[in-house]
Homo-oligomer: A and B are copies of this chain.
Amino acid sequence: MRDPLNGSPPEAPKPATIYDVAERANVSIKTVSKVINNLPEVSRLTRSRVQAVIEELSYRPNQLARGLASQRSFMVGLFCDAPAAGSGYIARIQMAILTMCQKEGYHLIVECIHATNQNIAQQVHALVAQSKLAGVVLTPPLSDLPTLIDALKATGTPIVRFSPEAAVPDVIDVDIDNCQAAYDITKYLIGLGHRRIGFIRGPLEHADARARYEGYCRAIAEADIPFLDEYCQTGNYTYRAGMLAGEKLLTLKDRPTAIFASNDDMASGVMASSIRYNLRLPQDLSVAGFDDAIFAHAMYPRLTTCRQPIADMAEAAFLALIHHGDKPIGPLTLPHKIIVRGSTARPPTA
């Protein structure tokens, strides 16, 4: 279906504009515009004729012109603190949001915002106001940066946040029920017969860490297992913290038969420390994590954990974002899933 025309230079052939399409289809540019934007007031015949010409000329609307004229672009911003860090949680959010963007004809523009930055308002201004972003997605820990949110709201940009702490008016939130998820994992360990269950808590500044802690407490309380201070360590979500916490737990006189870490990084740290004490997993010790990080199914043994439905969360978030204003929307809490793998089993004494 190529259209060689006359031997135009192969370098940068001038792309077709809306005028070219209009002329060839014998309609006004207004009509072409309507077709592009899927507006209703075009007869089916006209629409298909225009569409044919669009194909023929392989016309693509100039996003810059579109944005300039309409004062809104087809670009969505993803703001992160440090995309490469962590166990890929942010990377997976990005991937999922990107998928939605491509599906809906948007582009993803990634920006790095340092929470410690003094003039975030400035940065946001330069970024958003002048690019007319259709919306922005905030990931932790940016989800809970009041200056950022205020600056964004001042520009009128729709906002969606992943796993925020506290609700903020006019901002869409997506999350899972962290308390319930932690409860489910703990309950599962109890169901296997464990009674001595260590817990590695995340940093208490994080709402999710607090919620997971609460879920753990609730589950053991329900099973009449006494809460023991020494069974509950705290770590900052890193591998190293998990290793240290693991050492403390595993050197206890009455060491736990199972350890539930608040994220996979810490769980893998526990697993590493268990090697030091010659414990076999899962026969001597069960370990469970949280996140279903990329490496969780690539460890030995593979890690029992909890998966957030990131793709679904991204989809919900994205749709809420671009249809912002259509209807008020409450916090979106999506279902999590416990993934049982080889790192957990019945306790040795059971």
Question: A interface vs B, CB < 8 Å?
Answer: 10-13, 15, 58, 60-65, 67-68, 73, 75, 82-85, 88, 91-92, 94-95, 98-99, 102, 107-112, 122, 125-127, 129-132, 154-156, 238-240, 243, 265, 268-269, 272-273, 275-276, 294-295, 298-300
Q: Select one of B94, B127, B132, B272 contacting A83, CB under 8 A.
A: B94
Q: How far is the CA of A92 from the CA of B155 in the complex (A)?
A: 31
- Contact between B298 and A240, CB atoms less than 8 A apart: yes
Q: Closest Cβ of chain B: how far from A8's Cβ, in Å? A: 11
- How far, in angstroms, from A64 to B69 measured CA to CA in the complex? 9
Contact at A75–B109, with CB atoms within 8 Å? yes
> Which residues on B sit within 8 Å (CB–CB) of A68?
62, 64-65, 68
Assuming the contacts A130-B15, A294-B84, asked whether A112 and B107 have C-beta atoms less than 8 A apart, the reply is: no
Distance in angstroms from A166 CB to nearest chain B CB is 21
Residue on B nearest A15 in the bound complex, by CB: B129
In the complex, A302 Cα to B164 Cα: how many Å?
Answer: 34
- Are the CB atoms of B155 and A12 closer together than 8 Å? yes
Closest chain B residue to A238, Cβ basis: B298
Please give me the residue from chain B that is nearest to A113 by CB atom: B102
Q: How far is the CB of A140 from chain B (nearest CB, A)?
A: 16
Residues of B within 8 A of A112 (CB): 95, 98-99, 102
Known interface pairs A63-B130, A273-B300; A156-B12 also in contact (CB < 8 Å): yes
B125 touching A60 by the CB < 8 A rule? yes
Q: Which of B10, B84, B298 contacts A92 (CB 8 A)?
A: B84
Q: Which residues of B sit under 8 angstroms from A84, Cβ to Cβ?
A: 88, 91-92, 94-95, 294
Cα separation A235 to B299 with both chains bound (whole Å): 16
Q: CA of A92 to CA of B61 in the docked complex: distance in angstroms?
A: 33
Asked if A82 and B95 sit within 8 Å, CB to CB, the answer is yes
The 10 closest A-B pairs by CB, nearest first: A272-B300, A239-B298, A12-B156, A64-B67, A84-B91, A84-B95, A64-B68, A60-B130, A60-B126, A84-B92
Q: Considering only CB atoms, which chain B residue lies closest to A153 in the complex?
A: B11
On whether A154 and B83 interact (CB within 8 A), knowing A110-B108, A240-B298, A273-B300, the answer reads: no
- Closest-by-CB residue of B relative to A278 is B278
Q: List 25 A-B contacts (CB under 8 A).
A: A12-B154, A15-B130, A60-B126, A64-B130, A65-B68, A83-B98, A84-B95, A85-B294, A88-B91, A95-B112, A98-B110, A99-B112, A102-B111, A102-B112, A107-B127, A107-B131, A108-B110, A239-B295, A239-B298, A239-B299, A243-B300, A268-B298, A269-B298, A272-B300, A273-B300
